[in-house]
Amino acid sequence: MTSAQQPLTGKRVAILAADGVEDVEYTQSRAAAEQAGAEIHLVSLKPGEIQSMNHDVNPANRYPVDRTVDKADASDYDGLVLPGGTVNPDRLRMNSDAMAFVTAFFQQEKPVAAICHGPWSLVESGMVKGRTVTSYPSLRTDIRNAGGNWVDQPVQVDNGLVTSRKPGDLPAFCEKLVEEFAEGRHAGQLASV
């Protein structure tokens, strides 16, 4: 592949996920970034492996954790992916290290991509205020209550923040994820901090 086909060559991307992550949202976003040339690290709450799920109820696969969030530093990464599933982001938002990790990407003006229930971490960390985002429809009220503008679209981009609603939106999500991560820092990310 040429550098135009691998626009993320030389970039390192963190995927923050815990047990209960929706398998297809993890695997497809990871594959898109890897195919674009990025080095990927799975960052989680505990060492070992995480258990992914299909549709929140059926165990899918286990994936090795590269780094625990308490040892991870946003300055080591060029972008952050927050896949969904309902259990995964619910666990993440209860962990102060995970929320500090998410916030640091915005403080450092780095692109972030969240799909489905992944934006719960954005709500918990206060990073949706004044932003236009989409998510799984059940998060609509949470996002509005946190000061965000919720829209019902397959993908929404707001100054380096990429959001999507559900697994069916993965093609659009992955395309915009690669595009925004390739662009690099976005000063607009500071609007949330």
Domain residues of the chain, as ranges?
Answer: 12-185
d(CA 99, CA 70): 11
Q: Is 117 a catalytic residue?
A: yes
Coil/strand/helix, residue 168? helix
What CATH number is given for 12-185 in this structure?
3.40.50.880
Nearest C-alpha neighbor of 110 from the set 192, 28, 169: 192
From the candidates 41, 117, 174, 186, give the one annotated as an active-site residue.
Answer: 117
Show pLDDT as tens, one digit a residue, over the chain (193 residues). Answer: 455 689 999 999 999 999 999 999 999 999 999 999 999 999 999 999 999 999 999 999 999 999 999 999 999 999 999 999 999 999 999 999 999 999 999 999 999 999 999 999 999 999 999 999 999 999 999 999 999 999 999 999 999 999 999 999 999 999 999 999 999 988 888 878 8
Does the pTM surpass 0.85? The reply is yes
Cα 107–31–159 angle (5° rounding)? 30
**Residues 55, 116, 174, 186: which is the catalytic one?**
116
Give the type of residue at 125: S
> How far is the CA of 25 from the CAs of 71, 88, 127, in angstroms?
24, 11, 21
Q: Annotated catalytic, 55?
A: no
